Amino acid sequence: MTAEMTRPELGVCYYPEQWPEAQWADDARRMRELGLDWVRVGEFAWSMIEPAPGRFEWDWLDRAIDVLGAAGLKVIMSTPTAAPPRWLVDKHPEILPVGPDGNVRKFGSRRHYCFSSPVFRGEAARIAEAVAERYGTHEHVAAWQIDNEYGDHDTIHSYSPAARDAFRDWLARRYGDIGALNTAWGTSFWSMRYDDFAQIELPNQMVEEPTPTQLTDFLRFSSDQVQSFNRMQAEILRKHAPGRAITHNFMNQNEDFDHHAVGADLDVASWDAYPLGNLVHGRLPEADKQRLLRHGDPDQPGFNHDLYRGVGNGRMWVMEQQPGPVNWADANPAPADGMVRLWTWLAHAHGCEMVSYFRWRQAPFAQEQFHTGLLLPDSTPDRAFAEIEEVVAEAAALPALPPRAPSEVALVLDYPSRWALSALPQGRNFRAGHHALDWYSALRRLGIDVDIVGQHTELNGYRLVVAPDLVMADAGFIKRIAASDTKAIFGPRSGSRTEAMHVTAPLPGAGLAPLIELRVTRVESLPDWHSESFLMGNASHAARRWRETIESDAEVLATFEGAYREGTPALVGNDRARYLATLPGDEGLRHVLEDTLRWAGVDTLPDLGPDLRLTRRGNVTFAFNFGCEPAAAPAPPEATFHLGAARIPPAGVAAWSET
Amino acid sequence: MTAEMTRPELGVCYYPEQWPEAQWADDARRMRELGLDWVRVGEFAWSMIEPAPGRFEWDWLDRAIDVLGAAGLKVIMSTPTAAPPRWLVDKHPEILPVGPDGNVRKFGSRRHYCFSSPVFRGEAARIAEAVAERYGTHEHVAAWQIDNEYGDHDTIHSYSPAARDAFRDWLARRYGDIGALNTAWGTSFWSMRYDDFAQIELPNQMVEEPTPTQLTDFLRFSSDQVQSFNRMQAEILRKHAPGRAITHNFMNQNEDFDHHAVGADLDVASWDAYPLGNLVHGRLPEADKQRLLRHGDPDQPGFNHDLYRGVGNGRMWVMEQQPGPVNWADANPAPADGMVRLWTWLAHAHGCEMVSYFRWRQAPFAQEQFHTGLLLPDSTPDRAFAEIEEVVAEAAALPALPPRAPSEVALVLDYPSRWALSALPQGRNFRAGHHALDWYSALRRLGIDVDIVGQHTELNGYRLVVAPDLVMADAGFIKRIAASDTKAIFGPRSGSRTEAMHVTAPLPGAGLAPLIELRVTRVESLPDWHSESFLMGNASHAARRWRETIESDAEVLATFEGAYREGTPALVGNDRARYLATLPGDEGLRHVLEDTLRWAGVDTLPDLGPDLRLTRRGNVTFAFNFGCEPAAAPAPPEATFHLGAARIPPAGVAAWSET
Amino acid sequence: MTAEMTRPELGVCYYPEQWPEAQWADDARRMRELGLDWVRVGEFAWSMIEPAPGRFEWDWLDRAIDVLGAAGLKVIMSTPTAAPPRWLVDKHPEILPVGPDGNVRKFGSRRHYCFSSPVFRGEAARIAEAVAERYGTHEHVAAWQIDNEYGDHDTIHSYSPAARDAFRDWLARRYGDIGALNTAWGTSFWSMRYDDFAQIELPNQMVEEPTPTQLTDFLRFSSDQVQSFNRMQAEILRKHAPGRAITHNFMNQNEDFDHHAVGADLDVASWDAYPLGNLVHGRLPEADKQRLLRHGDPDQPGFNHDLYRGVGNGRMWVMEQQPGPVNWADANPAPADGMVRLWTWLAHAHGCEMVSYFRWRQAPFAQEQFHTGLLLPDSTPDRAFAEIEEVVAEAAALPALPPRAPSEVALVLDYPSRWALSALPQGRNFRAGHHALDWYSALRRLGIDVDIVGQHTELNGYRLVVAPDLVMADAGFIKRIAASDTKAIFGPRSGSRTEAMHVTAPLPGAGLAPLIELRVTRVESLPDWHSESFLMGNASHAARRWRETIESDAEVLATFEGAYREGTPALVGNDRARYLATLPGDEGLRHVLEDTLRWAGVDTLPDLGPDLRLTRRGNVTFAFNFGCEPAAAPAPPEATFHLGAARIPPAGVAAWSET
Ligand SMILES: [Zn+2]
Ligand SMILES: [Zn+2]
Ligand SMILES: [Zn+2]
């Protein structure tokens, strides 16, 4: 095996500016003794670095980096653009973002900038350049993070004058002349015709919804603004910090910008993993949430590992790993003891190169004082500390593993398709992010490893592409599948809209030609209090929220039951692709996907149940028990266990090689 | 029988500006071949007609009307005021409406005008006059629609400076001097005294609710603005389009303006019928909604037919009939196959002269791309097409029928009373529109045909007036009932407020004198999680949401049960009128109304159950099965069936004459 | 016994300006005949007193007071600052408050002023002085009310320019220099550093939450503004109305300002008692709300009597007692017949000196026309009238009673701690007001009388201090407990934050040293759909919403059960204090408190059940049956009954002395 072999690396987020300098050295020593390799600093330090316009105070940060580096830690330095100083807001109040209610959002927390403000772009470039010049080639600075959590606090969509002007320019570039915009937006519909790009306004505070093309264009524009803002900083860092890995810490669940597009300008994608808050706000029924309250959705972290591994072109870090209770969810339970260890090994198994915990010490002041860390506010170890010690000890015994091999199955997450669904949901309960996680979960219960990809990914090697919601199927992507040996299955609404957010001609589903011929002649969104069913083989399964009437030359593999249009196809397929015309419940989705995997030549395991998950890295199989009861590792009798044993306790991990 | 005999006429809504001109002729031919008589055009065409201030482009519309007319279709032309062009907004931004949050609502959809803007009134008159001059006497233009769906997207109540100024003028006219306003508004209450009409502001963004008289006045004023705006256009049309029927397409469920008052300036009332969205957002318990998901509330369309037949002084059209799934509800299921036929016959049976479907072809672009039509976007027929073919064939076999005869029972819907309830609901769950539909439903389950009327209707012939919520009983109306042979039953809160929105003296209920003597000494609003009961005969029934303690000389016909004030009257009556002091559930309401109908000399049928509905036109009885199981038509053995047979399938229709 | 003995006094709220002068004398006569002693007037009369700037019209009010006084009534005069006239708003629009949405709140109801407006403060002083000069020594004016219901309609927190300026000044005074503010607010956290107080903005419309210290400071500032506004008026009244009792009518449930601080400037605290609306919006599970719909939460009025008795330093009135249905709750049921009598005796038993009913006659106009009074709008008696007659007759037979003796148990309600919880709730379902009422209720079911106190209260005599949510434990208070014989029990989160809203060092709980040594090493907020349990003795009890992991030298008295950290302490205690690490359900809370009362040497009764409550004044024990079934009075066989008998009917009262 030629691939580079790695051991799990660990890190932590640290804010020297928040602690007395006298404490730094001891902190650094304890980090290193714990076994940490990395420390992230600086992402909110602008006002400490530049306390007044043009007056820089580098000394404290120089010393902090020296102390950390001297202790043996590699520093991830950040550009501090997520938190512009008060003096900058005073000087240029027009950098502030404007909410959908038309009100300027005030200084006093973070992310108080509009991506479209040319003034802010200039200031961001200036501070990024200053920091990059200072530390770009510093011996202890081994990587760079740009800004922090794009999209947090709903900050991608700004309705400021700057955003309006930039949107007009973006439209002028996209459409060239106003007639093309009128055609695309369908302004003949309600007398909405424009004579000039200067007449166009942002799509907030309207009498009724704007055209979905206007809305989709605004969502695209807003994503492009993030992409270009990030690229500007990436270019500055490449110039001043050669050879250092550049990353951004993405927020999972945020769909307001194209993570693949931003990832293309990075060396590594990192993401911030907070499984318990995601459970509380997440997709699962209440009974599952109760059972998993302190364990989290078994598929949410894996989904994001697989997503950001793709966003980072194979290189992925967790920049912020939840170490205990957090402060921001509707309810903030604690992880069961053992879960921090489980999440760390899960990340490693999914190909993560480095797991960094947020944060070193719980802050006794400011907004996040209920957010735990590795240390309590009094510097004594909190629970996660001991679990990391355990991970470090175990890591020494585990063989080094190669980068994660490509999976046989690729699941498509296409951000423009999500924007299309957001612009025209058609049903109040249609939540594409939840549905895609349901599909992922069904695959994972069958023991399948999954890559999560965009439409521009190379297909080589995938046996099956799974596209739960590919509304805006890219013609090139469909053609590449058709020209390959890869098979595909599409969820409802796939291939139903053009790039201009029009219905595909002749009918929805046409976007999937030439893979599969399909005419969607009717769609229905269904309320949560109603359920339909479909028949596949002898099994009847629930169909919820969405149902289509389709016509197709392809074979009918499952049919709807009940009084309404009984016998119309629920699942059709030819030898290249399948199309599912509804959203099944868990059981039905597993049935459909199990049959589809078999058809695509992908081996499955018997259902692992709701709480056990397997994944493979190199020749090691990892098993994770998210449940409350012990589980049996599906390992062969002759397996060599590197972690745990055949009986996996709740919140437990096992890892074995087959000999 | 001397009355004019009619057959069902059919039509469709068409937007030539949205399709290539090459397609028009074929569309027109297919409309005619399908059997359609009417086509509505132009209601959103302002910017196509007048692309720049004063520059008119009539040619395309001339040609479109010619093509449609040449094919044999009668054109309903519209004034395009519902969608002012962008250039008008640029020139006069003050025409935009202002929301209750104080923000100007932006251009980009439709209805972006304030009814009170004098500038917009001038522009609306100008464009209406231009269109009327051009097509007023056009041979193919047989009718006119003014504007489109007043009240859609919450646009009746605007909080603009223009609205404020107009409100002050309206108040000055209403009250003459400020002292009269102070008295009416009760400004002695919280030191709210005004010295001048110029001090008065619109009732949004206050610290606490304004006086209910201020609020009621604002609601009245807003309704008057719609009425005068509509009248202005009606007068223009009468001048330029003599002999053509003038209509407006009302939105059912909207209570923000007085539909009777606007109807008085029209020749025909038309309304837009979307039963499934109304079910999803409607009054029924969830179990009923589940059963009726694809059939709709059995009483919602009939209620509106009966309402708008009255609003149109006997002449009523359906301008937009749902042909399949729509795009705007929280969930958008499809009608069961057969429902479009059922709704069409239902309209005819309720006296509708013409049913026009919205829309000819589903648009593949803009806001309503999920709204179905008679054709799919690729011009192939959608399901409704076949059902209309069926209706056309059946209509040929059905005898022509006279206009609908007056019913024996009139239900009162008084818009000012609804505003009074909106200004002072007194309970969060008090939804008068739902309650009135419950009363209507109870009557309809007993086989009763109903007219829905305002307080200015002539009473001649009605055996019973049913007034579920006549808060502001008009003294003239009550006197006319008292002077007639008509009996009446009133729901709780009836006769409880004066026109100044004061409690009637001496006590609530006094507004019903001289019909019935009544003193309401206490009212209670009750939460949904609590239920009371009353005893009528031997039957105990639920009483919900509202309960009154009343004193009356009249006979006690039902009494409350339970620990609180057991034995106080729930229903009282003399030989002229009855008063119900609570809101019963379905069963109790049916008991009360069955007894009341018998008392009034109106014959009832045994309960038809929740899903079967009968109605009569001429000597033909129509039966509609809204349910999911076959139903038996209650026809005599010797009946001659014109439609269907004695066994009515789900979504089925039967019609018979007795020989 | 040397203490002053009192009989219940009664009063009513009256608005002469709302009724014809001809009616006044008859009203006054009937008040007196009913047995009323007091009448409150004038709190909304500003525009009637001063109809134009500087033009006063006293005559009508002179006559009204004379008429009332002549009839034998003592007048409570009010300063009319709760309702500034329209002309004042015209002259100085900047007095209007601004909502959190940034919009100015309009004239047209009441409380439309910003406490921080210097112009309004000047005007308020001017009108208060004018009224005080006119009536300060009037023979019939025996007491004064300042303003009306501070905090009604969310008016404590204004976001106006005046509030912003005053907040900056307040901060400058509090912190002296901006560096101290930066430290306290923790502005190193997200680069939020300030250079000048003039940079600080109000904490609305931010991107994300401000620092909790900024928020807490804003809440403190807003409370201080109320306190100084009230003190300004109190000083004016003391100058012009010597010897008259000064009061303000507090709104229970409002926590937006420090009621203890405002009370310190008053002679008597009064409060407005509306039990049924509080039930509808209150803490109880739905089944209890159903049972108690017309009786109210048995503990809500008692809690407030005990609270405001403390706020008034032992002197407490009810200024507005609900006499029947009200107009402002989500649902407005009627009190069961008998409840007005019950509430009146309840107030007396809890030490209330005077109960005044709101209002004399139901108004047939303006905002509160659904609010009942002692008379119906036609001047006939409503139900409460008869119940007051009954009270007056009973009062004659009851012995005069001394002021209420201090209880053995004091429950702490600390407003700054509530603000801390509001600034950092950490769980969406954490409602401290509800939890404290749960604790009070548990004590009351055990027959315990309770004083409700702030942290500055003297401890002399209390056997037990109960602090359900003392987040910001005052060091002096804790030391005084430690130095006394008083024992204490604290709920979760107690002693966890410093005055700067930082975590106490070394860990949460440190604020309770030196009483009890405690380290909270982890907190969890739990969703409503999840429940934990703890074991105390052999009993297992539910633990909800909040759970802490604690370490302490104290004895472990109860432990958590279940999979997560089984056996960790749920309740710990030493010989001075106890700490409860979760929020139990009713049963568990009663178990904990019963055990704690026994430990503190306080005698308890067997559980009185959910609906029966006892309290003592002098040597008389009162019992109140809030339930729907008769209850047995727990009186000894030889007791002498002053009211009722051993069998207490629903809504009934008993009172006895033991011989
Ligand atoms: Zn600037
Ligand atoms: Zn203008
Ligand atoms: Zn001023």
Could you tell me the CATH number of the domain that includes residue C86?
A: 3.20.20.80
pLDDT at B20: 97
Answer whether residue A578 shows pLDDT above 80: yes
pLDDT at B314: 96
Q: Pick from A17, A112, A289: which is nearest to C188 by CB?
A: A17
Q: Pick from B330, B334, B369: which is nearest to A428 by CB?
A: B330
Residues C365, C463 share a domain: no
Residues A593, A489 share a domain: yes
The binding site of A for substrate consists of 110, 148, 328
Distance C215 CA to ligand 1 centre (A): 28
Residue B328 annotated as binding site: yes
Counting as contact any 3 or more CB pairs under 8 A, the partners of C are: A, B
Q: Pick from A44, A112, A332: which is nearest to C524 by CB?
A: A332
> Do C270 and C145 meet the contact criterion of CB atoms below 8 Å apart?
yes
- Window from A507-516, B31-40, B454-463, C499-508 with minimum mean pLDDT: B454-463
The answer to whether C108 contacts B211, with C-beta atoms less than 8 Å apart, is: yes
> Do A285 and A327 meet the contact criterion of CB atoms below 8 Å apart?
no
What average pLDDT does the segment C259-283 reach? Answer: 97
Contact residues on chain B for C105, CB-CB shorter than 8 A: 205-207
Q: Could you tell me which residues come within 8 angstroms of residue B398 by beta carbon, excluding any fewer than 6 positions away?
A: B7, B620, B642, B643, B655
The answer to whether A330 contacts C427, with C-beta atoms less than 8 Å apart, is: yes
Q: Pick from B187, B214, B527: which is nearest to C330 by CB?
A: B527
Could you tell me the CATH number of the domain that includes residue B645?
A: 2.60.40.1180
pLDDT at B3: 57
> Do B450 and B409 meet the contact criterion of CB atoms below 8 Å apart?
yes
Residues A514, A393 share a domain: no
DSSP per-residue string spanning B397-420: HSPPBPPPPPPSEEEE--HHHHHH
What average pLDDT does the segment B258-263 reach? Answer: 98
Per-residue pLDDT band at C1 (split at 50, 70, 90): very low
Contact residues on chain B for C18, CB-CB shorter than 8 A: 186, 188-189
With respect to residue B514, please indicate whether it lies within any of the assigned structural domains.
yes
Burial C153-166 (b: 16+ CB within 10 A, else e): bbbbbbbbebbbeb
Distance from CA of B17 to the nearest CA of A (A): 6
Rg (CA), chain B: 25
Answer whether residue A206 shows pLDDT above 60: yes
The answer to whether C17 contacts B188, with C-beta atoms less than 8 Å apart, is: yes
Contact residues on chain C for A326, CB-CB shorter than 8 A: none
pLDDT at B48: 97
The C-alpha atoms of residue A354 and residue A448 are separated, in whole angstroms, by: 23
Q: What is the number of other CB atoms lying within 10 angstroms of the CB of residue C90? A: 14
The C-alpha atoms of residue B498 and residue B510 are separated, in whole angstroms, by: 10
With respect to residue C271, please indicate whether it lies within any of the assigned structural domains.
yes
Contact residues on chain C for A322, CB-CB shorter than 8 A: none
Residues C588, C632 share a domain: no
Residues A513, A562 share a domain: yes
Name the catalytic one among A320, A394, A548, A594.
A320
Contact residues on chain B for A190, CB-CB shorter than 8 A: 44, 83, 109-110, 366-367
Q: Output the CA torsion A186→A191→A192→A198 (10° steps).
A: 130
Ordered alpha helix ranges (H), B10-160: 21-34, 46-49, 59-70, 86-91, 118-135
Contact residues on chain C for B211, CB-CB shorter than 8 A: 108, 365-367
Asked which of A350, A375, A397 is the last residue of a domain, the reply is A397
Rounded to 10°, the helix B21-34/B59-70 angle is 30
**Which residue in A60, A65, A64 sits closest to A75, CA to CA?**
A65
Residues B431, B548 share a domain: yes
Distance B139 CA to ligand 3 centre (A): 65
Residues A422, A382 share a domain: no
Identify the residue with better confidence: A457 or C558.
C558
Per-residue pLDDT band at A15 (split at 50, 70, 90): very high
Could you tell me the CATH number of the domain that includes residue C486?
A: 3.40.50.880
Per-residue pLDDT band at C462 (split at 50, 70, 90): very high
Distance B119 CA to ligand 2 centre (A): 7
What average pLDDT does the segment A152-157 reach? Answer: 96
The 8-class DSSP code of residue C18 comes to: G
Between chain A and chain B, how many beta carbons pairs sit less than 8 Å apart?
A: 180
The answer to whether A364 contacts C503, with C-beta atoms less than 8 Å apart, is: yes
User: Angle at Cα A218 formed by Cα A212 and Cα A220, nearest 5°?
Assistant: 100
Q: Could you tell me which residues come within 8 angstroms of residue C550 by beta carbon, excluding any fewer than 6 positions away?
A: C509, C518, C519, C520, C521, C568, C569, C572, C579, C581
Q: Helix, strand, or coil here: C485?
A: coil
Per-residue pLDDT band at B252 (split at 50, 70, 90): confident
> Do B480 and B455 meet the contact criterion of CB atoms below 8 Å apart?
no
Between chain B and chain C, how many beta carbons pairs sit less than 8 Å apart?
A: 179
Active site residue C320: yes
Contact residues on chain C for A112, CB-CB shorter than 8 A: 206-207
Residues A127, A13 share a domain: yes
With respect to residue C221, please indicate whether it lies within any of the assigned structural domains.
no
With respect to residue B403, please indicate whether it lies within any of the assigned structural domains.
no
* pLDDT tens figures, A354-396: 999 999 999 999 999 999 999 999 999 999 999 999 999 999 9
What average pLDDT does the segment B541-562 reach? Answer: 98
Q: Which helix (H) or strand (E) holds C305?
A: helix C300-311
The C-alpha atoms of residue A140 and residue A126 are separated, in whole angstroms, by: 23
Residues A461, A503 share a domain: yes
Q: Pick from A195, A212, A502: which is nearest to B367 by CB?
A: A212
The answer to whether B107 contacts A211, with C-beta atoms less than 8 Å apart, is: no
Pairing label, strands C487-490, B354-357:
unpaired
Distance from CA of A402 to the nearest CA of C (A): 36
The C-alpha atoms of residue C496 and residue C512 are separated, in whole angstroms, by: 8
What average pLDDT does the segment B229-255 reach? Answer: 97
Ligand nearest to the CA of residue B95, numbered in listed order: 2
Mean pLDDT (chain C, rounded)? 97
Residues C165, C151 share a domain: no
User: Angle at Cα A212 formed by Cα A208 and Cα A216, nearest 5°?
Assistant: 125
Share of chain B above pLDDT 90, in %: 97
Name the catalytic one among C43, C149, C353, C394.
C149
The answer to whether A522 contacts B87, with C-beta atoms less than 8 Å apart, is: no
Q: How far is CA C242 from CA C62, C74, C130, C313, in A?
A: 19, 16, 15, 19
The answer to whether B190 contacts C650, with C-beta atoms less than 8 Å apart, is: no
Between chain A and chain C, how many beta carbons pairs sit less than 8 Å apart?
A: 180
The answer to whether B333 contacts A194, with C-beta atoms less than 8 Å apart, is: no
The answer to whether B503 contacts C280, with C-beta atoms less than 8 Å apart, is: no
Active site residue B320: yes
pLDDT at B5: 81
Mean pLDDT (chain B, rounded)? 97
Among C18, C55, C109, the strongest candidate for a mutation testing the B interface, having the largest count of B CBs within 10 A, is C109
Q: Return the residue of A nearest to B334 by Cα.
A: A524
Residues C313, C243 share a domain: yes
The binding site of A for Zn(2+) consists of 114
* pLDDT tens figures, B155-204: 999 999 999 999 999 999 999 999 999 999 999 999 999 999 999 999 99
The C-alpha atoms of residue A379 and residue A384 are separated, in whole angstroms, by: 13
Rounded to 10°, the helix A21-34/A383-397 angle is 40
- Number of domains present in the structure of chain B: 4
The answer to whether B369 contacts A428, with C-beta atoms less than 8 Å apart, is: no
* pLDDT tens figures, B336-364: 999 999 999 999 999 999 999 999 999 99
> Do A345 and A624 meet the contact criterion of CB atoms below 8 Å apart?
yes
Residue C656 annotated as binding site: no
Asked which of B565, B599, B633 is the last residue of a domain, the reply is B599
Residues A586, A456 share a domain: yes
pLDDT at A8: 93
pLDDT at C3: 57
Answer whether residue A2 shows pLDDT above 60: no
Ligand nearest to the CA of residue A95, numbered in listed order: 1
With respect to residue B402, please indicate whether it lies within any of the assigned structural domains.
no
Among C369, C372, C611, C628, the strongest candidate for a mutation testing the B interface, having the largest count of B CBs within 10 A, is C369
Tokens of A104: 């300027």
Identify the domain containing residue B523 by its residue range. Answer: 409-599
Asked which of B347, B376, B397 is the last residue of a domain, the reply is B397
The answer to whether C367 contacts B190, with C-beta atoms less than 8 Å apart, is: yes
Q: What are phi and psi of A12, to 5 degrees?
A: -155, 155
| Backbone conformation region of residue C462, classed left if phi is above 0, alpha if psi is from -120 to 50, else beta | beta
pLDDT at C4: 79
pLDDT at C460: 79
The C-alpha atoms of residue C40 and residue C74 are separated, in whole angstroms, by: 9
Q: Pick from A190, A505, A523: which is nearest to B370 by CB?
A: A523
Distance from CA of A623 to the nearest CA of C (A): 21
